[in-house]
Amino acid sequence: MSINIWIVWATWAVWVEMIKCLYDLKIPIKELRLWASPESAWNIFNTLFWDITLKKVDEDFFEWLDYALFSAGWDNSKAFAPIANKKWVIVIDNSSAFRYDDNIPLVIPEINADSIWDAKIIANPNCTTAIALMAVNPIYKKYWIKKMIVSTYQATSWAWAKWMEELIENTKKYLAWEKRENKVFAYDIAFNLIPHIDTFQENWYTKEEMKVTWETHKILWNKDLLVSCTAVRIPTLRAHSESIVIETEKKVDIEDIKKLLSDSPWVDLVDDTTNKIYPMPLTAANKYNIEVWRIRKNLVFWDYWVEFFVSWDQLLRGAALNAVEILKYMISK
């Protein structure tokens, strides 16, 4: 069975990765359409499938489509997803527009694909949540988890390709002793880090940090799990990292936890201290699997606490790959 697919907002960094994932996961595509803003429309892109002309959306654009992969931001998802549904198009959305709607599943296929059922809109989780839970879930299923503390080190690929471009340009200017401009970041990101991502909430956490709490509760169906996150922007291009500390119900067995993670097909246990091989943005970039290392008992709480370090490609596992895996699961069912 071949399907017709629409990728919405094909000027973001994620859409290029979506097409790569569609190709790598052998999604049977009959027609692939790309939609962009009016300013970007009518540009021609060479893809792994065929040359595609970016189109401006209109009333007829949804005809004869089966699925739409949205990476268009909150406003566009809210505006166009219901229109797509009226044309019997199933939407897989990368924005936060539908993540917290009780009637719309929030899905990581390896964890809760069975929550999709007959949904017409499926939400993709935030990248920080997706990767944390990919690493945590094998432990969660056996040891149960009471508390989780996450510190993130997030790349500039979080939203727009121009964020990565600003890092590259300001790095060049920094090394050349030239004046730098910060157009998309609050401060210069070159050789710096910014402990502020998204808007601050009433509890002094940012929205990016609270997303990890809200989405973990929904994906694991466990609102009793206590989650705290600190999110920091760092000067890397496309790979995020996280330090994760969890409290378990059962006494931890570190060797068993290492085995649980190494047995997970989406996890690479990179644990070679002798040769100084460990997860890093440089090694995790352009990989489908996440990298995990430094699995150890926490020195403060000890027997019921374990901590570890994770790196992964934000554009892939944190966005495009998860969306295409949802699509592949739906096609298979």
Residue 300, phi-psi category: left (phi > 0), alpha (psi -120 to 50), beta (remainder): alpha
Token pair, residue 322, equals 């998860």
Q: Which of 21, 127, 196, 229 is catalytic?
A: 127
229 labelled catalytic: no
Give me the residues paired with residue 293 across strands: 309
Q: Which residues contact 124 (CB under 8 A, 6 or more apart)?
A: 92, 93, 94, 106, 107, 130, 319, 322, 323, 326
Q: Which of 196, 217, 229, 240 is catalytic?
A: 240
265 and 153 Cβ atoms separated by less than 8 Å: no
21 labelled catalytic: no
> What are the strands, taking DSSP E only, across the chain?
3-8, 29-35, 44-46, 51-53, 67-70, 90-93, 121-123, 145-154, 226-233, 239-248, 267-269, 290-298, 302-313
Active-site residue set: 127, 240
